[in-house]
Structure 1
Amino acid sequence: MKLFLSRAVLAVSFFAAPVFADDAGELKQRLTDLQSFQAAFSQAVTDEQGEIVHEASGNLTMTRPDKLRWETLLPDETVLIADGTSVWHIDEWVEQVTVMSQQQAVDNNPMVLLTSNDESVWQQYAVNSAQTDNFTVSAKNEGGQIRTLTLSFDEQGLAKLIMVDSQGQQSTITFSQREFNQPVASSAFIAEIPESFMVDDQRP
């Protein structure tokens, strides 16, 4: 469940932005122009001692607002789809699907800012930019699964995400083969569930 929730929202992009008086305003402007983002990713999770405890790779597809497809190919095949209302986690290995409301999945989770245009949602998070092209986001209210989220940009756009969770583990997600604002088929965000799979529907 912890891994499911940590994946439950992701992705992004970016272009030159004007100067803003605050870091949150600058980050929001960078994300506002983004309509879609597609990339391959590699992920490394380290513990508090810096030891690698998990590695993964796959593909990410995102459109704003509020839609995401996170497909892991290695070490196991899983698909996470946020369709704007619900989040579907499809695990091919165990033939099981877990479904949550999207609001429940991203509650108090700074990853929501990557796809949200809602000003009331943005007001729930603090944004700091201690280094050029690096923005660290944290929830104003305590108790979330993700303690901080750092977005790193290069001249093309978003290059890396670094998440530190409530247990002190750090997840570094590096993007490659990036495509910005290219057409994305709506079918990418429709969960296709084989009849043989067990469905655990946790929506209220």
Structure 2
Amino acid sequence: MSYTGDVTANGPADVREVPGLSISKIEVGDFGNNAYLLRCAETGDGLLIDAAAEPDRLLGLIGDMPISTIVTTHRHQDHWLALSEVAKATGAETVAHSLDAPELPVPVTRTVEHGDRVTVGVVTLEVIHLRGHTPGSIALLYGDGHIFTGDSLFPGGVGNTERDPARFESLYTDVVERIFDRLPDETWVYPGHGKDTTLGAERPSLPEWRARGW
């Protein structure tokens, strides 16, 4: 079965293999959050993006193989409800941007800034700071083909900025300059909720997003 990124509540993970990495996507919680388990193909080490909810299901997804890191994309509660339990059960390092880390329920082992690197086994992910949905929202980029955007970029628009023009301008500008202006159309987008997309599918709509202001 080919990967689609379409997952459902209580449903199985959707798994894809890309060079150097496996990516497992699962939906958890009452808000339809996506959690992503990345595993290094060479070492088997794992990294979880957003321990959002349902710790038992996340731990089942992780299984007997270790994970060394849990990255939280931003401070909103629906993205960290299972963080305490999963971190305790796995002993994994917890990572978040310095501006959002104080709002998380556990002390963050490592804070990151724009341009920092996070590793899983021999694989390196780049931290991209996207300011606006929250002050410390981040995305993780693998190569130039796979980006995990939290709640900053979805099919159909950028993340919620609560109709605040300054926050929208900040997020829109960061998404354009740090993602669309840099990466090719083939780049796959893995958001914090809902279906996946590609930059090519969304790029024609950028002027519409700016004009509507959300």
Fold in common (TM above 0.5): no
Structure with bigger strand share is: 1
- State the TM-score, normalized to the length of structure 2: 0.26
TM-score of the superposition, structure 1-length normalised? 0.27
Select the structure with the greater relative contact order (CA < 8 A; seq sep ≥ 6).
1
